[in-house]
Chain A
Amino acid sequence: MRQARQWTVISLITVGVMIGGCTTATTNIDVNNDKGDAVMGLDYRDFHAAAQEMVQSLLASGSVSKPGGGRYVLVVSRITNDTMQHIDTDQLVKKIRVGLLKSGKVVVTTAVGVGGAEDNMAMQTREDLRGNEEFNQATVAGKGNMVAPDLSLSGKILQRNISVDSSTQRVEYYFQMTLSDINTGLAFWEDEKVLGKRGSNKSVAW
């Protein structure tokens, strides 16, 4: 009886060690030098590369350089996610916005947007605080101070899945962006970056 109990304990310990040895230890990714294997879906490296290329293309084109100096006011329009993945398009757009802001040639308005203001506070503080005696009216934003956008940035992320053979698939991603002049409606700049991935049919790209 006692020997049986001892064997049970030893067996449990052995199984525990085996299971513990099989688990993958969690490690932090070095996002500045991540040499991990590619994935069929879009990961942060893909968004980073796409944003980098778009910012480089935008600055090189000269379309964000205002004649006579100064800064353009940019509004981010609709960025359509036409992939099979649940993507927050800000993963791409935020990096582009930051890059453009740091260029010193563009400021982004958050007071207007496709589905309403990105940041409602600019308008809300006016509506709520204007005429409110609790607030020093000299510190409340005055009328006619908001700046309308000059440029609009829109885009789309597309996905195409292609079956190569019975075991292999190819997934193509297209990052398409357009910078339009709001005054004329003309596109000042457009670019596209294509990402292709090939892998097992068993991999799921959504």
Chain B
Amino acid sequence: MYQVSLAVIFSLFLFGGCANSSPKPVDSVVNVVETECGNNEISIQDVKGRKKSDGFMQVQVIGKSRSDTYQRLEYRIIWFDKQGFTIDSILSDWTVISAYAMQPFYINVTSPNTKAKTFRLYIKNEKEVICDKQDNGL
């Protein structure tokens, strides 16, 4: 039985997106802080974030499965406002995602409201207790 438990923490800093009503997405800088627990069978390859014209934040994470078997993963994203407080939302609950053997997988999510400024992403195997070795990337 393979074991994957990865807690990945991203902080997404958006510059000038708040007051800008331009429909063009604003460039973002992503600061990635990664903490691994156990055998790592997935890797995170790319993280993109942008502020949409309607004020919501959109995040795309590209990961890759290093396992030679199909995996069901779960991820959750905790959203933070500009003061660093969590934003309570149904969208922060665990969500199942499929990772095919040696294939990339994609997570594409929108923030629960327009106050979201940063986020932290956690990934784990389905039915596995989350690793508690997490770092604060804020």
Contact = CB atoms under 8 A, between A and B. Distances in A.
Interface residues of B, number: 23
A48 B76 CA distance: 14
Interface stretch (A9-17, A94-102, A108-116, A143-151): A94-102
A138 interface: no
Nearest to B128: A35
A104 B90 contact: no
Interface in B104-128: 108-115, 127
Interface of A: 32-33, 35, 48-49, 51-52, 55-56, 59-60, 62, 65, 95, 98-99, 102-105
Given A102-B113, A104-B114, A52 B90 contact: yes
B106 to A, nearest CB: 14
Nearest to B54: A65
Nearest to B108: A60
A35 to B, nearest CB: 5
B91 interface: yes
B90 A48 contact: yes
Q: Which 8 A-B pairs have the closest CB atoms?
A: A65-B54, A60-B110, A59-B110, A99-B90, A104-B113, A103-B113, A35-B127, A52-B90
A51 B90 contact: yes
B103 interface: no
Given A35-B127, A62-B54, A102 B93 contact: no
Contacts of B115: 104
B58 A60 contact: yes
B50 interface: no
B111 to A, nearest CB: 8
B52 interface: yes
B114 A99 contact: no
A102 to B, nearest CB: 6
Contacts of A33: 94, 129
Contacts of B113: 102-105
Interface of B: 52, 54-56, 58, 88-91, 93-96, 108-115, 127, 129
Contact of B112 (A32, A49, A95, A99): A99
A98 B89 CA distance: 9
B93 A52 contact: yes
B54 A52 contact: no
A102 B110 contact: no
Given A52-B95, A102-B88, A105-B54, 6 more contacts: A35-B127, A59-B112, A60-B56, A60-B58, A99-B90, A102-B89
Nearest to A57: B110
Nearest to B58: A60
25 contacts: A33-B94, A33-B129, A48-B93, A49-B96, A51-B90, A52-B90, A52-B91, A52-B95, A55-B91, A56-B91, A59-B112, A60-B58, A60-B108, A62-B52, A65-B54, A99-B91, A99-B112, A102-B88, A102-B89, A102-B112, A102-B113, A103-B113, A103-B114, A104-B113, A105-B54
A95 B110 CA distance: 17
Nearest to A35: B127
A104 B56 CA distance: 11
